Structure 1
Amino acid sequence: MKKIVTFGEVLLRLTTPGNLRFSQSRDYVATFGGSETNVAVSLANFGIPTEFVTRLPDNDIARACISDLRSHGLRTDGIIYGGDRMGIYFLENGASFRNSKVVYDRSGSSFSTLRPGMIDWETIFADAGWFHWSGVAAALSQDGADTCLEALQMADRMGLTISCDLNYRKNLWKYGRTAADVMKPLVQYSDVIFGAEPEYKEILGIAPVGFKAVNTDYRLNLEGFEEVGKQVAKLVPRCRKMFLELRNSLSANHNLLAAVLYSDRSLKHTGIYDITHEVDRVGTGDAFVGGLIYGLLTYPDDDQKALDFALAASCLKNTFYGDFNLATVAEVEALMNGDSSGRVQR
Structure 2
Amino acid sequence: MKKVITFGEIMLRLSTGTGMLLRQANQLSVHYGGAEANVAVSLSHFGYQSYFVSKIPENSLGRAVEQHLKSHGVRTDFLLKGGERLGSYYVEEGAGERSSQVTYDRKYSSFSQLEADEIDIEGILQEVSLIHITGITLALSPALQELVLQIFKKAKEMGVLVSFDFNYRSKLWSQQEAAEAIKLLMPYVDICFCGELDAVHLLGIEPVEESLSQEERLTFYYLEILKSYPNIQYMGSTFRTVQSASSNKLQGNLFTSGKLYQSKVHHLEPIVERIGGGDSYAAGILWGILEGFPAQQIISFATAASALKHTIQGDCSSFTNEEVMQFAKNESGMINR
| TM-score where L is the length of structure 2 | 0.95
Is structure 2 residue 60 aligned with structure 1 residue 60?
yes
Q: What residue in structure 2 maps to residue 198 of structure 1?
A: 197
After superposition, residues 28-67 of structure 1 pair within 5 angstroms as 28-67=28-67
In structure 2, how many angstroms separate the alpha carbons of the residues matched to 1:27 and 1:80? Answer: 31
Q: Which AA in structure 2 matches 1:334?
A: Q
Q: What residue in structure 1 maps to residue 137 of structure 2?
A: 137
Q: CA deviation at 1:301?
A: 4.3
The correspondence for 2:271, drawn from 278, 300, 305, is 278
Deviations 1:82-124 (A, max 9, x none): 2110100100110010110000001000111111111111111
Q: What residue in structure 2 maps to residue 110 of structure 1?
A: 110
After superposition, residues 1-346 of structure 1 pair within 5 angstroms as 1-173=1-173, 178-206=177-205, 221-298=214-291, 300-343=292-335, 345-346=336-337
Q: CA deviation at 1:239?
A: 0.3
Contact 1:46/1:294, CA 8 A, preserved across alignment: yes
In structure 2, how many angstroms separate the alpha carbons of the residues matched to 1:5 and 1:200? Answer: 26
In structure 1, how many angstroms separate the alpha carbons of the residues matched to 2:199 and 2:38? Answer: 21
Q: Which AA in structure 2 matches 1:326?
A: S
Deviations 1:182-228 (A, max 9, x none): 111112210010134333333213467799xxxxxxx9643322212
Contact 1:209/1:221, CA 8 A, preserved across alignment: no
Contact 2:18/2:95, CA 8 A, preserved across alignment: no
| TM-score where L is the length of structure 1 | 0.92
Q: Which AA in structure 2 matches 1:179?
A: A
In structure 2, how many angstroms separate the alpha carbons of the residues matched to 1:12 and 1:4? Answer: 24
SS in structure 2 opposite 1:193? strand
Q: Give % identity.
A: 37
The worse-fitting range, judged by mean Cα deviation, of 86-95 and 122-131 is 122-131
In structure 2, how many angstroms separate the alpha carbons of the residues matched to 1:89 and 1:207? Answer: 35
Distance 1:208 1:131, change over 3 A: farther
Contact 2:134/2:167, CA 8 A, preserved across alignment: yes
In structure 2, how many angstroms separate the alpha carbons of the residues matched to 1:51 and 1:165? Answer: 18
Q: CA deviation at 1:326?
A: 2.0
SS in structure 1 opposite 2:62? helix
In structure 1, how many angstroms separate the alpha carbons of the residues matched to 2:279 and 2:269? Answer: 20
Contact 1:168/1:202, CA 8 A, preserved across alignment: no
Contact 1:56/1:85, CA 8 A, preserved across alignment: yes
SS in structure 1 opposite 2:306? helix
Contact 1:244/1:259, CA 8 A, preserved across alignment: yes
Contact 1:240/1:263, CA 8 A, preserved across alignment: yes
SS in structure 2 opposite 1:127? coil
Q: CA deviation at 1:46?
A: 1.1
Contact 1:19/1:95, CA 8 A, preserved across alignment: yes
Q: CA deviation at 1:338?
A: 3.5
The worse-fitting range, judged by mean Cα deviation, of 81-90 and 194-203 is 194-203
Which 5+ residue runs of structure 1 have no aligned equivalent? 212-218
Q: CA deviation at 1:63?
A: 0.7
Q: What residue in structure 2 maps to residue 216 of structure 1?
A: none
In structure 1, how many angstroms separate the alpha carbons of the residues matched to 2:254 and 2:17? Answer: 37
Contact 2:176/2:202, CA 8 A, preserved across alignment: no
Which 5+ residue runs of structure 2 have no aligned equivalent? none
Q: Which AA in structure 2 matches 1:322?
A: G
Q: CA deviation at 1:323?
A: 0.3
Distance 1:10 1:267, change over 3 A: same
Deviations 1:230-261 (A, max 9, x none): 01211222101111211111111111111222
In structure 2, how many angstroms separate the alpha carbons of the residues matched to 1:52 and 1:292? Answer: 18
Q: How many residues align?
A: 336
Q: Which AA in structure 1 matches 2:316?
A: F
In structure 2, how many angstroms separate the alpha carbons of the residues matched to 1:276 and 1:32? Answer: 24
Q: CA deviation at 1:34?
A: 0.4
In structure 1, how many angstroms separate the alpha carbons of the residues matched to 2:88 and 2:263? Answer: 35
